[in-house]
Every structure is written in structure tokens, then in C-alpha cells.
């Protein structure tokens, strides 16, 4: 689908729930005199007057006390922010969390705990019994890790955990890593547009061999994305599995320099709106060696997405790799600098696609390159569709106001199941420019492969595409 711009948090109820979440994690704990950090062997007990509390690691190891308190608002801690997050309290303590990531050459975090404190959620009250909600335990763990002056790792160990809506935010005092080794299942229902949300964090790693199970299998009403990364700078997501999301699996908004690698995303081929990785208003994104099997676009990119490298992705089932849909909302930012290469798509509805709405809003898509793509029984291989109108939702049938230019398709090879192998359907108002088809080797398993070109004159070189353009 990929038509919900930026995956907005739209409902007032969801907004209020986020505020209640953080007031509960702060004010409730202060009032009830429950320690923010659950002491393990050798762990520290809460100090009076909202003094900082050290966080226990395995074997009773603790981090050094920071100068900022981490209690509730009554203890000099944090107060709820406008979107359900938190702003620094009087002592300036953030409610985000540092991890164990270190900086790579370009400032992006690299995975694996290096040094610093380990924060394990079971020491904060999480129970791996598959039925006790670990949400409050996770939030308390995050608050403790956030205040560590050195890199820290939050560990969700092996076992079955249940979790409701979890929204955590920075900025944090040092890099943070969340390492998931167990299975986290969504507590039904998740109210709002997202399940796990990581916001306003710099130098962040989400790693491990564990699974986020959204429990969306068989549901007919799309609801919450499994994971949302909002305003994350220098991030790495590696190793984890996202399963049966109720909506997008991983949504990335307003983020910069984030890499996804060795990630597995899975949902039924007929699941609704379960895009694998959805990008909006983000730049310098890498998606490398990721496996996606879902019911919608494996990867979708909408307005404001720039400088994206997608490589070694295996996609299918699903709707392929897509730019758009574009031109639905006012003032959309351009989509530019997209490079997709060495990817394999099998049993998907589409191969590689650019789509925009007819006669709605202006937009730009340019400098987009698809190279060395293998297709295995894909329905339609190469598509530019500027008359995109799912379920008859268009206001009118006038030409699209989106301008598409400088798009190359090189060494696209394999098999399709529909004779309409290539469809380039551009706008009569803004005809496509600089569209190149090079070394296109496609065979329809039913025979009669053909191409259709409307309002575009593609530059054809090397092995020609099926006849028609």
C-alpha cells in the first residue's frame, strides 16, 4: 500500500495513552515508591529525594551514577512531551537510552555490545511467561539505560514475552543498543498506529536473533506497525525478525543514516498493508541482505526519501519494491537518489515499480536506478504507473502532477506470469523523461510478452525489452 504518509499517529486516544504511559513510568513509580531500577544482586536501592539510581547489570554490576535523576516528575525526573514522549526535567535527564554501539567511519553505529552497562529487562520485572505484560518493565529499563553516561545494552533474553504499546524516546547520554534474544508478542489490542516506537535517538542499535510477533495473522483491519523508527540518526537494525505485523513491519520517518541488514520480515501473502520496510522523509538509508515475505510492498518509499541503497534483498511473496505512491498529499518533498541492485523477487505481484496518483498533488521522483534484478514468476516486471488508483479511491481521472525523470532499468532478467511484462504509463501533463531500458531479458511463462509505453519515449540499449515500446 504505502500510501499513509509518514505513518502519522492520528488518534487522540493514542496520544493520551502515550502520555499515560510515561506518567505511569515516572509519577506512578515515585508515588508508589517503587524503585526505578530493580536491584539485582549487589544492585542499588532507591535514594531519597529523587537522587540518581544506578542500574544493576548481570552479577550485580552497576553503572556509575549519573548526575541527573531518573525518577518521576515529583522526584525531579521527566515530564510528558507533546507526542507522548518526554522532555528533560529540571535536572535535564532525558528519558531515552544509551546502547553499546560504537561509531563507524561515517558515524553510524556498529553492532554488538562493546563496553558499558548491561540492562536486562527481567531485573526490572519482565517475566518470560508469554502472558505478563512487560511494557512497564521495558520502559523502566530504558529510563535506567538512558541515564548511563557510557554506552549501554538493554537485553531481552531468550523466552516468551508479552508487551503492549511501548514508546521510548531520547536524546540519550550515550549510544544505546536493544538486544532481543527472545520472542516478544503483541498484547491484543494495540491501540494506535504503532506497537514499538523508538524516537529522537542518536547512535542506536536494535539487534539479536529474537522476534517481534505482532499477532496480526488473519486480521482484516490494519492497525499498528510492529516497529517505528522516528528521528533516529546513526542507526543499525540487524538480525531480528518481524512477524505478522498488523500494518507496516518497520516504518522509518524523519531519520538519517540508518542501516537494516540480516533482517527477516514475514507475513502471509494475503495480509493487508503489511509493507516490509516503509521509508518516509528520511535520507542515507541502507537496506542490505534482508529477506522479506509479506502481503504488500516489500520495500516502499514515499515523499522526502533521498539517498537510499537497497542491495541483496530477497522479496516474495508481496507486491515488489516500490517508489510511492506519490502525489496524494500537498507539499510532498522529492524522492531522489534511489539505488536498487542485486535483488531477487519471487512470486510477487510486481517487480520494480514507481506509482503516483492521478490529478491530485505535485511531486518529483528522479535519479532512480534498478540494476541487476532477478525475477522469478513475477506477475508484472517493470512498472511506472501514474494512474495509480487502488480500490477506485481517486477523486478524478486527470493526469498526474508528479514529474518522473532520470530512471534507469538495467539487466532486469527472469520470468513473468502476465504478458504485460513492462508498463510505462506516464502523465500527459508531465511526460516521463530520461527513462532507460538496458539489457532487459524477460520471458512470460504464458507466452506473448509485451511492453506498453504511454507519454514516454524510453532510451533502449543492449538486449531489447519485449515488443511494444
Active site residues: 319
Chain position carrying cell 518533498: 333
Half-sphere exposure of 142 (CA within 13 A, CB side): 29
CA distance 216 to 220: 9
Q: Three-class SS string for 360-427?
A: CCCEEEEEEEEEEEEEEEECEEEEEECCCCHHHCCCCCCCCCEEEEEEEEEEEEEEECCCEEEEEECC
Half-sphere exposure of 101 (CA within 13 A, CB side): 32
* Helix 135-146 / helix 12-23 crossing angle, nearest 10 deg: 60
CA distance 198 to 255: 11
Residue pair 212/242 in contact by the 8 Å Cβ criterion: yes
Closest CA to 440 of 427, 454, 432, 451: 451
Burial of residue 106, with CB atoms counted within 10 A of its CB: 0-12 exposed, 13-18 middle, 19 or more buried: exposed
Cα of first residue to Cα of last residue in the chain, in angstroms, is: 28
Q: Three-class SS string for 130-182?
A: EEEECHHHHHHHHHHHHCCCCCEEEEECCCEEEECCEEEECCCCCCEEEEECC
CA distance 74 to 120: 26
Amino acid at each position: 500500500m504505502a500510501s499513509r504518509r509518514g505513518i502519522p499517529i492520528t488518534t487522540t486516544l493514542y496520544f493520551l495513552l502515550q502520555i499515560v504511559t510515561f506518567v505511569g513510568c515516572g509519577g506512578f513509580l515515585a508515588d508508589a515508591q517503587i524503585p526505578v531500577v530493580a536491584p539485582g544482586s549487589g544492585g542499588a536501592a532507591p535514594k531519597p529525594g529523587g537522587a540518581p539510581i544506578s542500574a544493576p547489570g548481570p552479577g550485580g554490576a552497576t553503572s556509575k551514577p549519573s548526575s541527573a535523576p531518573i525518577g518521576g516528575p515529583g522526584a525531579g525526573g521527566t515530564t510528558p512531551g507533546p507526542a507522548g514522549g518526554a522532555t528533560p526535567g529540571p535536572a535535564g535527564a532525558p528519558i531515552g537510552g544509551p546502547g553499546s554501539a560504537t561509531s563507524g567511519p561515517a558515524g553510524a553505529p556498529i553492532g554488538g555490545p562493546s563496553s558499558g552497562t548491561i540492562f536486562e529487562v527481567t531485573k526490572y520485572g519482565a517475566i518470560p511467561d508469554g502472558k505478563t505484560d512487560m511494557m512497564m518493565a521495558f520502559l523502566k529499563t530504558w529510563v535506567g539505560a538512558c541515564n548511563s553516561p557510557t554506552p549501554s545494552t538493554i537485553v531481552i533474553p531468550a523466552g516468551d514475552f508479552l508487551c503492549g504499546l511501548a514508546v521510548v524516546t531520547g536524546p540519550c547520554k550515550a549510544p544505546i543498543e536493544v538486544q532481543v534474544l527472545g520472542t516478544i508478542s503483541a498484547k491484543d489490542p494495540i491501540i494506535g498506529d504503532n506497537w514499538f516506537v523508538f524516537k529522537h535517538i542518536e547512535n542506536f542499535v536494535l539487534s539479536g536473533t529474537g522476534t517481534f510477533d505482532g499477532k496480526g495473522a488473519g486480521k482484516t483491519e490494519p492497525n499498528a506497525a510492529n516497529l517505528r523508527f522516528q528521528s533516529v540518526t546513526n542507526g543499525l537494525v540487524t538480525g531480528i525478525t518481524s512477524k505478522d505485523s498488523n500494518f507496516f513491519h518497520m516504518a522509518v520517518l524523519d531519520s538519517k543514516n540508518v542501516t537494516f541488514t540480516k533482517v527477516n520480515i514475514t507475513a502471509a501473502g494475503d495480509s493487508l498493508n503489511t509493507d516490509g520496510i516503509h521509508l518516509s522523509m528520511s535520507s542515507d538509508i541502507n537496506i542490505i541482505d534482508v529477506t522479506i515475505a509479506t502481503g504488500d510492498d516489500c520495500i516502499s518509499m514515499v515523499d522526502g526519501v533521498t539517498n537510499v541503497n537497497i542491495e541483496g534483498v530477497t522479496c516474495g511473496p508481496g507486491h515488489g519494491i516500490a517508489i510511492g505512491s506519490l502525489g496524494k498529499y500537498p507539499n510532498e518533498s522529492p524522492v531522489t537518489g534511489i539505488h536498487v541492485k542485486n535483488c531477487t523477487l519471487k512470486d510477487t505481484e510486481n517487480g520494480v515499480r514507481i506509482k503516483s496518483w492521478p490529478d491530485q498533488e505535485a511531486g518529483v521522483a528522479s535519479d532512480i536506478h534498478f540494476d541487476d534484478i532477478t525475477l522469478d514468476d513475477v506477475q508484472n516486471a517493470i512498472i511506472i504507473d501514474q494512474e495509480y488508483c487502488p480500490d477506485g479511491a481517486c477523486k478524478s481521472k486527470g493526469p498526474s502532477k508528479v514529474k518522473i525523470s532520470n530512471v534507469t532499468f538495467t539487466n532486469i532478467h527472469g520470468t513473468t506470469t502476465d504478458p504485460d511484462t513492462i508498463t510505462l504509463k506516464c502523465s500527459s501533463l508531465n511526460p516521463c523523461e530520461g527513462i532507460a531500458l538496458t539489457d532487459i531479458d524477460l520471458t512470460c511463462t504464458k507466452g506473448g510478452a509485451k511492453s506498453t509505453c504511454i507519454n514516454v519515449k524510453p532510451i533502449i540499449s543492449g538486449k531489447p525489452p519485449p515488443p511494444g515500446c
